[in-house]
Amino acid sequence: MIRFNYHPSPFERFLDDTPAVALFERLRVPLAIIAAALLGVAGTWSVETQRMAQLEAQRATLQVRLHATAAGDDRAQRLLADVTRLRAVRERIAAGRRDVIVATNTIASIGNDLPPQTWLTALGSTPAGDWTIGGRSTRVGEIGTMLRRVQSLDRGATARLISIAATGRAGRILDFVIGWERRP
Amino acid sequence: MTFDLGRTSAFAALLIVLAGYWLVFRPLEATLADRYAELDVARASIERRLALARRISPLERERTELETQLRRTHATVSGAESVERFLRDAAAVSARDRVAVESVAGAVGQPAVAVARAPQAVILDELPLDITLRGHYGDVIRAVRDLGNGQVPARLTLASLGVADRRPGERPNINATFHATLLREPDAATLPRLHPL
């Protein structure tokens, strides 16, 4: 049985209507376009592959140099860590010695700058740097002077009166306690 | 509808170019970018190592100098030797500055501790002691300064100072108790690794 295609596709009609030579003639340009596209892709691939090969070669060279410098780097890192630690130790020792000077200067300043008719009976300090100053005076006004002088020793600190209490015969002597707090 | 060969081939070429871009160019470019980044890191690492290697000689000199300084301050001696040297200092200071060493005691409740400024950075061992001096106000202050400049690195802070009981034939004196913290390098086994500055 012979079957007839009464509704051929546009492509079939194109093939039916075009002779073989004319077909080649007509296909030459489109094939060239496709070939150019393929060539372009292949060229790109080639260039990228070349670049990749160059980078791999550079990477291999750098790896060799990295390996060569590894031993020196370890040694330098150890030295640097040692020096850093020793510097820190030296600084801590220097800070300790400075603390002694600061503490003795503070004690000397408090003791050397007493107002008239006033004397110290006790000094105490906490590790946080807060001080308690106990003393006696015969004049209440001088206790105020003492408070002001303690405050002037360190602008960053706060001096406050904790207590005043009369003591001694006939209550003529005044015991006082001043707190001196150093802010961090 | 007719088959347009020109348009179809142009479309095919476009598809090839797009496929080439997505399947060849983009992946290779991404890989190349990674490689460039790796090379940059490697180059930076080599430059850093070379710069550090150039510092080896100065660092060695500085380490020797620092070790000499620390040996001079006796910060490297053992704990027992630190205490011994401190007591010798206290005896010498007592004679020189006319103060009496009333007591020296290990600080109760404060065992030898390692000073740590940062969580894992143990720099120095601390040996806490309490020392009480009796003498004239100025002499005590001078004695404490001398102790602070003694053979053993130490940090002295005032604990308490008060009028001392007056003994017959004596000038008014004070009793002063100081927290003395002897500083020494930790033993090699416990030495920290500090991050370089």
Task: Give per-residue pLDDT as tens, B29-60.
Answer: 999 999 999 999 999 999 999 998 898 999 99
A44 contacts B55? CB cut-off 8 A: no
pLDDT at B116 over 60: no
Using the predicted structure, report yes or no on whether residue B119 has a pLDDT greater than 50: no
Measure A17 CA to nearest chain B CA, in Å.
11
Q: How far is CA B61 from CA A73, A94, B19, B91, in A?
A: 17, 21, 63, 37
Of A10, A40, A108, the CB nearest to B2: A10
User: Measured between CA atoms, how close is B137 to chain A, in angstroms?
Assistant: 8
Q: Which residue's entry shows tokens 């100025």?
A: B138
Taking the C-alpha atoms of residue A92 and residue A100, their distance in angstroms, rounded to an integer, is 13
- The pLDDT tens digits of the residues spanning B129-181 come to 999 999 998 899 999 999 988 888 888 988 988 888 877 777 778 899 999 99
Specify the CATH number for A114-182; select among 3.40.1340, 2.60.120, 1.25.10, 3.30.1360.
Answer: 3.30.1360
Q: Is A114 helix (H, G, I), strand (E, B) or coil?
A: coil
Yes or no, beta carbons of B49 and A10 under 8 Å apart: no
Q: Which of B137, B157, B183 is closest, CB to CB, to A127? A: B157
The answer to whether B162 and B60 have CB atoms below 8 angstroms apart is no
Contact across the interface for B144 and A100, Cβ inside 8 Å: yes
Rounded mean pLDDT for each run of 10 residues along chain A, 184 residues in total: 78 74 78 92 94 94 92 90 91 89 88 87 84 90 90 85 84 88 71
Q: Per the CB < 8 Å rule, is B35 touching A45?
A: no
Could A79 and B60 be called an inter-chain contact, meaning their C-beta atoms sit closer than 8 Å?
A: yes
Of the candidates B17, B161, B196, the beta carbon closest to that of A37 is on B17
Q: How confident is the model at residue B125 (pLDDT cuts 50, 70, 90)?
A: confident
In terms of Cα–Cα distance, which of B25, B24, B39, B41 is closest to A55? B39
Residues of B in contact with A83 (CB under 8 A): 59, 62-63, 66, 196
What is the distance in angstroms between the Cα of A8 and the nearest Cα belonging to chain B?
A: 11
Q: How many A×B Cβ pairs under 8 Å?
A: 222
pLDDT at residue A52, as a whole number:
94
Q: Quick one: closest CA in B to A35, which residue? A: B13
Which of A10, A99, A124 is facing B159, going by the closest CB pair?
A124
pLDDT value of position B118:
47
From residue A131, give the alpha-carbon distance in Å to each of A108, A183, B157: 14, 12, 11
Record: contact A13-B141, CB cut-off 8 A: no
Sign for the pseudo-dihedral over CA of B170, B171, B176, B182: negative
Cα R_g (chain B), whole angstroms: 36
Q: So what's the pLDDT on residue A17?
A: 72
Chain A environment of B52 (Cβ under 8 Å): 72-73, 76-77, 80
User: Domain-by-domain residue ranges, chain A?
Assistant: 9-112, 114-182
Distance from C-alpha of A127 to C-alpha of B73, rounded to nearest angstrom: 25
Which is it for strands A118-125 and A131-137: parallel, antiparallel or unpaired? antiparallel
Instruction: Examine the pLDDT at B196 and tell me if it is beyond 70.
Output: no
Contacts of B35 in chain A (CB under 8 A): 52, 55-56, 59
Chain B residues with CB under 8 Å of A84 CB are 194-197
pLDDT of residue A59: 94
Domain boundaries, chain B: 1-54, 74-190
Q: Do A34 and B20 touch (CB under 8 A)?
A: no
Predicted ipTM of the assembly: 0.71
Tell which B residues from 143 to 162 touch A, by Cβ distance under 8 Å: 144-145, 147-149, 153-162
Q: Minimal CA–CA distance to B136: which of B100, B183, B108, B160?
A: B100
What is the predicted pLDDT for the residue at B188?
Answer: 62
- Mean pLDDT along residues B16-30: 94
Q: How far B104 CA sits from the closest chain A CA (Å)?
A: 18
Q: Is B75 on the interface with A (CB under 8 A)?
A: yes
Half-sphere exposure of B60 (CA within 13 A, CB side): 6
**CB nearest to B158's CB, from A27, A79, A107:** A107
Q: Does B78 touch chain A (CB under 8 A)?
A: no
Between CA A174 and CA A181, with CA A180 as vertex, the angle to 5 degrees is 155
Mean pLDDT of chain B: 84
B97: Cα separation from own chain's centroid: 35
Which sign does the torsion angle of CA A148, A150, A156, A159 carry?
negative
Radius of gyration of chain A from its Cα atoms, rounded to whole angstroms: 48
- Which DSSP state fits B150? S
Whether residue B11 contacts residue A31, with contact meaning beta carbons closer than 8 Å, is answered with no
Tell me the whole-structure pTM to 2 decimals: 0.67
Task: Assign domain B74-190 to its CATH superfamily.
Answer: Ribosomal protein S6/Translation elongation factor EF1B (3.30.70.60)
